[in-house]
Amino acid sequence: MQICTPDWVKHAAFYQIFPDRFARSTKPQALARSRTLDFERANYESWTAGPTLQGYKGGNLWGVLNQLDYIQDLGCNALYLTPIFQSASNHRYHTHDYYQVDPILGGNEALLALLEAAHRRNMHVVLDGVFNHASRGFYYFNDILENGPHSPWVEWFRIEGWPLSAYDGSLPANYVGWNDNRSLPVFNHGHPDVREYIMRVGEYWIEQGIDGWRLDVAGEIEAPGFWQEFRDRVKALNSEAYIVGEVWEDSRQWLDGTQFDAVMNYLFCASTIAFVAGDRVQMDLVKLPPYEPYPALDAAGYAAKIEDLLALYPWEIQLAQFNLLDSHDTARLLTIAGGDRASVLLGTLLLITFPGAPCIYYGDEVALPGAFDPDSRRCFPPEAEWDRDLLDAHKRLLTLRRGHPALQTGNYRVISAQGMLYVFARSLDAEELTVVVNAGLEEASATIQAGALRSQPTRVLYGSARLAATDGNLSIRVPARSGCILG
């Protein structure tokens, strides 16, 4: 079969937003009389204080809407929002109502306004769909808590006995919770009404104008044909809708063209961190998630990992992969690397020049630090705290990617991998760009044999390097802990 992924993703750069923490604003004056309330008097935590596991900062979609200039100026043209549906949790992975945007975020009204504003800017918006489990307050599960075996919905979840104990951990829960967490009752995806319910949620928001779904713990839904049907129904409404699964490991079973367009590329993430941060990786910060940004890799090790990864899935999938260095589910790279800025700069260079869509986790671009949740979900800092050099590097790299189709859909060839110096080329039609990363502590040089590149690069488009051509070979010398793009 012909595998087909959305074209726009191949040219996209995502900005991942954790909505409670990115920005907060009141709704536009024109909507002051609308039904959606601004809850300005709610019991929010201070924006500038560190986040807690259970507190809310009160960020909202009106805030996101007001920051579209910033995001666009950064160089991103797509948003991935972690969950926004009504939820009794600050991360909103405990869905309370799949048809309502959380009132704190501004409700459905705010999402529709955001979609309109984003589309006007030719930006795309992808939402997070949490379809493996719901929450204790979710109507269909809550009814079981309230009515026990009398509930009409007893078959919607995985009930194992009576009574249920949803809140008292000293008694058996008697139902299946995700990760044994009783706050996250797992759907019975084998029930036809559950399946249809989820399918219609998937369709509904596509009809409302979202551009795709990031599917939470997608690999855990194993009902036969589930994701095939989801894809078919979503694509029937918008053939360019993007479907990206949260699968951390080898995802070949999901990336056969009938299910997801892509996965969250933690395989890229892990290898890249292992190369650019190496022994700096704080092991206590990378032990929980199923990705392994260790042991430290040299250039050859990294090349092998990348070549394996690029061989794993069809090229049409690779071009639509959702590439990242960190997320709300990990510590931030800056913190993983023990505060080493160069690791972030090198990782970002590799991210933005890799096939597939790069995603910047909000705040990474200004050096917001963060260990595990809740620390990786700090509020976006005020301008005075920004690392402007890092921000500028992000902008230059995203500008280069945008201006050079080869960085988007060009093929990827490892050119050289010696010591800590890694060189690869991206080429498309007549265009070829060469990317060089020296992850070592010493200045390093590579000699590229004549013919290894289609043409001799002459310009340093990003970073600093000394180029010297001898007998048709090219010598590239780059400072320690730095990288460059040549064209």
Catalytic positions, written as ranges: 216, 246
Q: How far is CA 107 from CA 97, 110, 378, in A?
A: 11, 6, 23
Q: Which is nearer to its own copies, 187 or 254 (CB)?
A: 187
Looking only at residues 352 through 371 of this chain, which bind its own copies when binding is defined by CB under 8 A? none
35 near its own copies, rule: CB under 8 A: yes
CB 164 within 8 A of CB 146: no
Q: How far is the CB of 86 from its own copies (least distance, A)?
A: 6
CB 129 within 8 A of CB 215: yes
Cβ atoms < 10 Å from Cβ of 478: 25
Contact with its own copies (CB under 8 A) among 3, 31, 44, 409: 44
- The torsion angles phi and psi of 342, rounded to 5 degrees, stand at -60, -35
Q: How far is the CB of 36 from its own copies (least distance, A)?
A: 9
Three-class SS state of 265: strand
Contact with its own copies (CB under 8 A) among 7, 48, 139, 450: 139
Looking only at residues 179 through 218 of this chain, which bind its own copies when binding is defined by CB under 8 A? 183, 191-193, 196-197, 200, 203-204
Give the contact letters, 87-106, x = binds to its own copies (CB under 8 A), - = no: -xxx---x-xx-xx--xx--
Q: Which is nearer to its own copies, 40 or 383 (CB)?
A: 40
At residue 275's C-alpha, the angle toward residues 271 and 279, to 5°, is 115
Give the interface size with its own copies as a residue count (CB under 8 A).
54
Contact with its own copies (CB under 8 A) among 2, 32, 120, 146: 146
CA gap 291, 299 in Å, rounded = 20
Options 60-68, 119-127, 133-141, 453-461: segment touching its own copies (CB under 8 A)? 133-141
41 near its own copies, rule: CB under 8 A: yes
Cβ atoms < 10 Å from Cβ of 450: 12
Residues 58, 64, 65, 66: is their CA dihedral positive or negative?
positive
Q: Which is nearer to its own copies, 18 or 354 (CB)?
A: 18
Options 37-45, 221-229, 238-246, 318-326: segment touching its own copies (CB under 8 A)? 37-45
137 near its own copies, rule: CB under 8 A: yes
Q: How far is the CB of 126 from its own copies (least distance, A)?
A: 21
Token reading at 251: 């995802």
Q: Which is nearer to its own copies, 100 or 445 (CB)?
A: 100
CB 446 within 8 A of CB 416: yes
Nearest to 189 by CA among 180, 178, 197, 181: 197
154 near its own copies, rule: CB under 8 A: yes
Q: How far is the CB of 101 from its own copies (least distance, A)?
A: 12
- The torsion angles phi and psi of 126, rounded to 5 degrees, stand at -115, 130
441 near its own copies, rule: CB under 8 A: no
Residue whose entry in the numeric block shows the structure tokens 């249920």: 164
At residue 76's C-alpha, the angle toward residues 440 and 485, to 5°, is 35
Question: 192: which residues sit within 8 A by CB, 6+ positions away?
Answer: none
Q: Which residues are 323's β-sheet partners?
A: 265, 358
Residues that bind its own copies (CB under 8 A): 35, 37, 39, 41-45, 52, 54-56, 58, 86, 88-90, 94, 96-97, 99-100, 103-104, 135-139, 142-143, 145-148, 150-155, 165-168, 183, 191-193, 196-197, 200, 203-204
